[in-house]
Amino acid sequence: MFCSGCGCGQIMNALLFAIDELKLDTKNMVAIGGVGCSSRIPAYLDMYAIHGVHGRSLAYATGIKLTKPELKVVVLTGDGDCGSIGGNHLIHAARRNLDVTVIMVNNGVYAMTGGQAGPMTLGGVYTTTTPRGNLEKPFDLCKLVETAGGTYVARWTTAQPAALIRAIKRALLHRGFAFIEVASQCPTIQGRYSLGILDPVKNIEYLQQNSITREQAAKMVPEKLVGKIVVGKFVEKQLPTLEDSYREMENKIGHVSKQS
C-alpha cells in the first residue's frame, strides 16, 4: 500500500514486467526487503520473501546463495536501508561479487519514518533532521558499488520505465553483483519537504527534467551538475562470482558440495 504517485509501485511494476518478459519461474526466486517503503515490495510478490530487518538483506542473501545457489535472489532496498545501516553489507557483497540483484529505490530520505535525512540526501535541503538544511554531502552509491567490485551497475529513474525494465532484465540475467539505483519521486515526504512540490506529476517531471546521461554530464561544469541525476548503465562485466570460487575450491579437494 504505497502513497499516491509513489515510485515504489512503478518499480514493482517494472520488476514484474521484467520477470514476465524473461519468463522466470518465481518458484526459484527469493525477494528480500529490509525496512522502509521500498522494502515492502517483497510482501506483495508471489514468491518466497524475507522482510523486516533494517539493512541486513544482503547478509540473508549471502546465506541463501551459498546454500542454494540455483535460487535467484532480488533485494529491494532503499537509500537508507542500503547506504546507511546496510552499507557494510553492501560493499562486502559487491566485493564478493555475490550473484544477486539489488534494486535500490532512492528518494533521498527515510520516508517511512517521516522524512529524516539519509546518506543520499542532497546538501542543503530541508528534512526533518536537517531543519536548517543538510550539512552533509550524499554518496554516489553507484560509484561506491563499482569500486567495491559490483559487476553490473546502473542508475535510472521512475521517469524512464522502459529503460528501467530493460535494466532489470539484464540485471536478473547477469551473473554477479547487479546494482540498480532507481531515483524515485516521493510526493508525500521528500517532494513536500525537500522540493516543496506535493503534486505527483510535478514530482516525476522533476526527475524527468533532471535526468542526464554521462555524456551530457561530462560536458557540464560541476556547479551545474548539482541536483542532476546521471542515468545509464555504468558497468557491465563478467567476473567470477562468489559461488564460482567455492565450486572451484570444492572441485580441487575432490568433493562436490551438495549445494552446487
Partner 1 sequence: MLGNHAIVEGAIAAGCRYFAGYPITPANEISEWMAKRLPEVGGRFIQMEDELASIYSVCGASLTGTKAMTATASAGYNYMQEGIEYAVAAEVPIVIVDVMRQRGDNYPTQSDVMQARYGAAGDHEMIVLTPSSVQELFDLTFEAFNLAERFRNPVIVLSEATISLMHEGIRLPRPEELRIVNRKKPNVPPDQFMPFRAEEDLIPPMSEFGDEYKVLYTLNPHDESGRIAWTPEMYESLYSRITKKIADKADEIAMYDSEFTGDAEIVVIAYGSEARGCVEAVRMARKLGVKAGMLKLKNIWPVPEKAMKDSTLNAKKVLVPEVNTGRYFHVVRETLGCRAEVISVPKNQGRIHSPDEILAEIRRVL
Partner 2 sequence: MNAISADLAAAAVSKQKKILRVKKNFNVTVNEKLCKGCYFCIRFCPMGVFVRSDVIGELGYDIVKVEFPEKCNGCKACLLYCPDLAIAVAEAEGSDHKT
- Please work out the total of residues on this chain that contact partner 2, with binding judged by CB under 8 A: 27
Q: How far is the CB of 118 from partner 2 (least distance, A)?
A: 21
Helix H or strand E segment including 167: helix 161-173
According to DSSP, the residues that pair with 216 across neighbouring strands are none
Look at residue 238 and give the partner it binds from partner 2, partner 1, none, a contact being a CB closer than 5 to 8 Å depending on partner kind: none
Q: Please report whether residue 87 would count as binding partner 2 according to CB under 8 A.
A: no
What is the Cα–Cα distance from 200 to 217, expressed in whole angstroms? Answer: 26
How do 72-78 and 152-157 pair as beta strands?
unpaired
Considering the complex, state which of residue 98 and residue 172 has its C-beta at the smaller distance from partner 2: 172
Q: Please report whether residue 103 would count as binding partner 2 according to CB under 8 A.
A: no
Cell 510535478 identifies what position?
202
What is the Cα–Cα distance from 128 to 132, expressed in whole angstroms? Answer: 9
Report yes or no: 79 and 90 within 8 Å, Cβ to Cβ: no
Considering the complex, state which of residue 135 and residue 253 has its C-beta at the smaller distance from partner 1: 253
Q: How far is the CB of 241 from partner 1 (least distance, A)?
A: 13
What is the three-class DSSP state of 3? Answer: coil
Q: Please report whether residue 6 would count as binding partner 2 according to CB under 8 A.
A: yes
Q: Please report whether residue 122 would count as binding partner 2 according to CB under 8 A.
A: no
What is the Cα–Cα distance from 224 to 251, expressed in whole angstroms? Answer: 54
Q: Please report whether residue 16 would count as binding partner 1 according to CB under 8 A.
A: no
Stretch that binds partner 2, among 63-71, 93-101, 123-131, 155-163 (CB under 8 A): 155-163
Stretch that binds partner 2, among 35-43, 69-77, 153-161, 237-245 (CB under 8 A): 153-161
Look at residue 162 and give the partner it binds from partner 1, partner 2, none, a contact being a CB closer than 5 to 8 Å depending on partner kind: partner 2
Report yes or no: 146 and 153 within 8 Å, Cβ to Cβ: yes
Binding residue for partner 2 (CB under 8 A) from 129, 208, 210, 257?
208
Name residues whose C-beta falls within 8 Å of residue 105's C-beta, 6 or more positions apart in sequence.
Answer: 7, 8, 11, 37, 38, 76, 77, 78, 79, 182, 184
Looking at residue 38, what DSSP letter applies?
Answer: G
Length reported for the chain: 260
Considering the complex, state which of residue 18 and residue 242 has its C-beta at the smaller distance from partner 2: 18
Name residues whose C-beta falls within 8 Å of residue 138's C-beta, 6 or more positions apart in sequence.
Answer: 108, 119, 120, 121, 122, 123
What is the Cα–Cα distance from 51 to 35, expressed in whole angstroms? Answer: 7
Site string for partner 1, 48-87 (x = CB under 8 A): xxxxxx--x-xxxxxxx-xxx-xx----------------
Q: Please report whether residue 53 would count as binding partner 2 according to CB under 8 A.
A: no
Q: How far is the CB of 4 from partner 1 (least distance, A)?
A: 21
> Where on the chain is the footprint of partner 2 (CB under 8 A)?
2-10, 12-14, 16-17, 159-163, 165, 187, 200-201, 204-205, 208-209
> Where on the chain is the footprint of partner 1 (CB under 8 A)?
26-28, 30, 42-43, 46-53, 56, 58-64, 66-68, 70-71, 88-89, 92, 246, 249-250, 253, 255-259
